[in-house]
Structure 1
Amino acid sequence: MIGQQLSGRYEILNRVGGGGMALVFKAHDKLLNRMVAIKVLRQQFVYDEDFIRRFRREAQSAASLSHPNVVNIYDVGQEEDIHYIVMEYIEGSNLNEEIKRRAPFQVDEAIHIACQICDALEHAHQNQIIHRDIKPHNILIGKNGRVKVTDFGIARAATSSEITQTGSVLGSVHYFSPEHAKGVTQGAKSDLYSLGIVLYQMLTNKLPFSGESPISIALKHIQEDVEEPRKLNSLIPQSVENVVLKSMQKNPEQRYQSAKEMLLDLETSLSPEKMNEQKFSFDDNLDDDEQTKVMPVIGLNRKVGQMDIDNTIMPELKENNDKKNRFIWVKPVVWTFSTIIILFSAWFGVKAVLGMLDVPDVEVPDVIGLTLEDATIELEENQLIVKEPVQYKYDNEIEAGIVIEQSDISKKVKANYPITLTVSNGQEEVIMENYVGMQWVDVENDLRKKGFADGKIEMEMVLYDAPVGEVIEQTPSPDEKYSPNDQDVIFSFKVSEGLGSIEMPDLIGVSKDAAISMLQQRGLNYIIEYDFYINVPKGFVFRQRPIDAGSPVNIGQEITISVSEGDPDNVRKPKQAIIVAPETEGEESTIEIKITDAIGTDRVWKVEKIVEEETYYVPVVLMPDLEGGKATISVTVDYKHVGTYDVKYEDYE
């Protein structure tokens, strides 16, 4: 599609991305003379009429959003079998690329990005629009650092259709909410779950759930608990972990109730009073209706009627019964005496056992400050034991092996009672991060956030074939263990100052090949951009950045040059005939001709002396959307204004 024009207005320049549903191109809007991004549906989807109708409706709905963190949708159109959306062009990268390149992010940067996404979701949810596909691929980051959320409404069109794309599903399923995985209705809280996963990934450089197939990953969203972020990155404050855990609850009712609520927690998560708050927890008891209940056993009662034995049994049997009734008292008496004997025996037995179990009370001594070995001996001498296992924790002030906490100090307990001891592990050692390749300003900022003062940080600038400001060597070395509270630890860094500097050449008006040669001869790297530019011939440079001509530039620095693609198609360059006479015929006068047109205002075209009437053909540049679509020619004779001439674009269409 490169070079193709859509609707006679959008000229496709180059492809900049794509996904399971569409391809994305950079294009030039010839009508408004600006760059735009155009999302074009893949060919396999253009024959599904129901999907196309839903796709257009959802895109038009998303176009109603107006927010600094939402990519603006300018137009939705169709040309033959090409269905497309015209959007704001963001020069930068997407969050997925940034995570691959440099995650885990600094906590404050991750929070800053998440806040902007959350703000965009709050605006969308207020307008009854659910995104349904929040993931790093749909988060754009401009060169100015502003975050833009894209593809609002498009996910809904795809979800409502029967379209499937294995690669697309596999990419999105990592960010599914449990209700999405179950196939039930998704609301605003589903977007917040996905945002929680994006924040988790930015902080840990790891996805919470992964597997060999979309189904296995989806099941994990429904069934498995997520590994806590702080176990993967100990630098994450508890308050920030709490935001992640709350947003990723399986039950939507236990998540944030709105994007606004989540945004408030994000914005305050790094405040001193919240960073060490209690770990997030929730009531996971089932509702009463879901509890297992034990039902009583239903018994059957029945009444047995008495028979008048005297009137129904035979006389012989009656005589035998009379004999038996004479000894009926014997059995109860035997049972009564047997029970009394058993009870007395049991009473004496219990008394004897209690006498054997009569353990003396002892007072628990204070063993804090003793070594574990001495504390164990002290407790055993007082008829007490150490509870296993012994607890250990790091302490920046108490050396390793010393008891720092114990249970039941000075209390009265029974002999052989287990006492809980907590023993110091000494100063906690941490693993030195790898700062090589990072910019010094970021490294210094990170160390100061961790509490290291000026006296602990040393930096030396050295000539080196690396970008200026990049760390090229560090002490302690990467992955080396050190104690943050060790006074002898000094953080030493060598930072590149490049290979020296030279004077930046002037590339404006030079051909592309000549400009490249000039940059290469001076050891400078370059990036080439192409764009339409009035009055600069095709193939010639009309802009250079970030270093102006004549300024010092470091060898190896990257210079961006903009090369003209020539005039836009809607430029007109007529020549207007102007007759100018001297103030007095035959006497010399100074004339001056100025032009205001698409190139600039009051630019001097000619100054000269005449003695007789002259005709001048003044070239002007016209564009329909600049200077009202007209040019103005102003003439002065002997510094007195004598006339103004208008040239209109419509006269040359």
Structure 2
Amino acid sequence: MIGRTISHYKILEKIGDGGRSTVYKAEDVRLQRIVAIKIMSERLIKNPKARLRFLREAQTVAQLDHPNICAVYEVDATEGHTFIAMAYVEGESLSQKIESGPLEITEAITLGLQTARGLNAAHKKKIIHRDIKDGNIMINEEGIVKILDFGLSKPLEKEDITKPRAILGTVPYMSPEQASGEPVDYRTDIWSLGVVMYRMLTGKHPFKGRNVGEMVRAILNDEPERIRELRNDVPETLETCIRKMMAKDREDRHERMAAVISDLRRATS
């Protein structure tokens, strides 16, 4: 694939690979700019539901104009390839940053706030991300968060593709209702962002398991180790906010992402 030109995009290098698609760095030869191009897996192109979900990602993100959401430029199907062209983010993923160890408190709050603002914009459009994790959060060279991969996102009012009992997402970041295959709402993203905040501050996953089944049981039944027991410089107000974000019962979480933003702001004062 490297060196090939698809439509008006010259493929330069592979930057990511998943089960549903592969992401490449590419040059838009028409506009002479660098982009990221996500090409749907060939084995899924003939799967109508998979193709619809892939195309819906582009349609979803196209509705969202926010500095903390990675912009989509084009979606097309040509020469046997279905692809999405989007902004190329020069920087590192949050997961890469966490690999170096827990973040400073002010940095964790700043990145958490930016992510919450991007998700709040999506929620205002009635769009749930459903796969928030540090691997889907990029930080550019100016320190600006860009949320990626709306491939599992869902308009809140539509139930045609994802039925109850269809478990989609990344297990360590799933809310209890998501892990149980129940219908989800905005509060599943609040839970997942809480997990990301926990990871930023501790460098650890809050729920552990040797396999998927054990991890799901931990999410449903176990309480994570207290952040302040792992790191005593974390303000109690910040830990309280994160614990509320990760309440097992969604009714006990923040009702909206705007409330999370308010609590995170208070934690900085």
Misfit runs of 4+, over 6 Å: none
The superposition leaves residues 250-271 of structure 1 with CA deviations (integer Å, 9 ceiling, x where unpaired) of: 0111000111110011012121
Partner of 1:454: none
User: 1:41: how far off?
Assistant: 1.7
Partner of 1:84: 83
The CA distance in 2 between the partners of 1:96 and 1:107, in whole Å, is 16
Question: Could you tell me how far 1:226 is from its partner in structure 2?
Answer: 1.6
Post-superposition offset of 1:11: 0.7
CA contact (8 A) 1:239 1:270 kept: no
Paired residues for 1:424-573 under 5 Å: none
Aligned position for 2:27: 28
Match of residue 261 from structure 2: 263
Asked if residue 155 in structure 1 is aligned to residue 152 in structure 2, the reply is yes
Residue 37 of structure 1 and its aligned partner are, at CA, apart by 0.4
Q: Is the 8 A contact 2:38 2:85 kept in 1?
A: yes
Q: Which residue of the partner structure matches residue 95 of structure 2?
A: 96
**CA drift at 1:228:** 1.0
Q: Does structure 2 conserve the Cα–Cα contact (< 8 Å) formed by 1:174 and 1:217?
A: yes
Tell me which of 235, 238, 244 is aligned to 1:237: 235
1:270-285 correspondence to structure 2 within 5 Å = 270-271=268-269
- Alignment map for 1:93-172 (pairs within 5 Å): 93-101=92-100, 103-152=101-150, 154-156=151-153, 160=162, 172=170
Give the equivalent residue in structure 1 for 2:2.
2
Quote how far apart the aligned CAs of 1:106 are: 0.6
- Name 1:43's counterpart in structure 2: 42
Counterparts of 1:90-489 in structure 2, within 5 Å, are: 90-101=89-100, 103-152=101-150, 154-156=151-153, 160=162, 172-271=170-269
Query: What are the Cα deviations for residues 280-312 of structure 1, in whole angstroms up to 9, with x where unaligned?
Result: xxxxxxxxxxxxxxxxxxxxxxxxxxxxxxxxx
The 2-side partners of 1:20 and 1:26 are apart by 18
Summarize the alignment of residues 640-651 of structure 1 with structure 2, pairs less than 5 Å apart.
none
Contact 1:38–1:85, Cα closer than 8 Å, also in 2: yes
Distance across 1 between alignment mates of 2:246 and 2:105: 18
* Deviation (angstroms), 1:118: 0.2
Which residues of structure 2 form unaligned runs of 5+? 155-160
More strand by share: 1
- Residues 1:56 and 2:55 aligned together: yes
Q: Give the counterpart letter for 2:27 in structure 1.
A: H
SS in 2 for 1:104: coil
Q: Percent identity?
A: 37
- CA drift of 1:203 comes to 0.2
| Contact 1:62/1:129 (<8 A) preserved | no
Q: Which amino acid aligns with 1:75?
A: E
Which protein shows a greater Rg? 1
Report the Cα distance in structure 2 between the residues aligned to 1:19 and 1:55, rounded to whole angstroms: 13
Q: Deviations 1:502-530 (Å, cap 9, x if unpaired)?
A: xxxxxxxxxxxxxxxxxxxxxxxxxxxxx
Higher-RCO chain (CA-CA 8 Å, sequence separation at least 6): 2
Query: What amino acid sits opposite 1:155 in the alignment?
Result: L
* Counterpart residue type for residue 138 of structure 1: N
SS in 1 for 2:127: coil
Is residue 2:71 matched to residue 1:72?
Answer: yes
Looking at secondary structure, tell me which structure has more helix per residue.
2
Which AA in structure 2 matches 1:15? K
- Report the Cα offset of residue 46 of structure 1: 1.8
Say how many residue pairs are matched.
261
Instruction: Write the letter of the residue equivalent to 2:2.
Output: I
Letter paired with 2:51: I
Question: Using the alignment, how far apart are the partners of 2:125 and 2:222 within structure 1?
Answer: 33
- Aligned with 2:30: secondary structure? coil
2:16–2:24 contact (8 Å) kept in structure 1: yes
Letter aligned with residue 13 of structure 1: L
Structure 1 vs Structure 2 CA RMSD: 1.8
Which deviations, in whole Å up to 9, do the C-alpha atoms of 1:573-608 show, x marking residues without a partner?
xxxxxxxxxxxxxxxxxxxxxxxxxxxxxxxxxxxx
Q: Structure 1: which amino acid aligns with 2:39?
A: V
Shift of the alpha carbon at 1:59?
2.1
- Aligned residue in 2 for 1:441: none
SS at match of 1:60: helix
> What do residues 445-499 of structure 1 show as CA deviations (whole Å, max 9, x unaligned)?
xxxxxxxxxxxxxxxxxxxxxxxxxxxxxxxxxxxxxxxxxxxxxxxxxxxxxxx
Q: Which residue is 1:332 aligned to?
A: none
For 1:286, the equivalent position in structure 2 comes to none
**Offset at 1:26?**
0.6
Mapped to 2, the partners of 1:231 and 1:43 lie a distance apart of: 48
Q: 1:73 and 1:100 mapped to 2: Cα distance?
A: 28
Does the CA-based 8 Å contact 2:40-2:54 persist in structure 1? Answer: no
Could you tell me how far apart the structure 1 residues matched to 2:225 and 2:81 are?
A: 45
Structure 2 counterpart SS, 1:155: coil
CA contact (8 A) 1:181 1:219 kept: no
Say if 2:194 and 2:245, in contact at 8 Å, map to a contact too: yes
The alpha-carbon deviation at position 58 of structure 1 amounts to 3.5
Secondary structure at 1:68's aligned position in 2?
coil
3-state SS, counterpart of residue 149 of structure 2? coil
Q: What is the CA–CA distance in structure 2 between the aligned matches of 1:76 and 1:111, rounded to whole Å?
A: 34
Q: What is the alpha-carbon distance in structure 1 between the residues aligned to residue 57 and residue 21 of structure 2?
A: 15
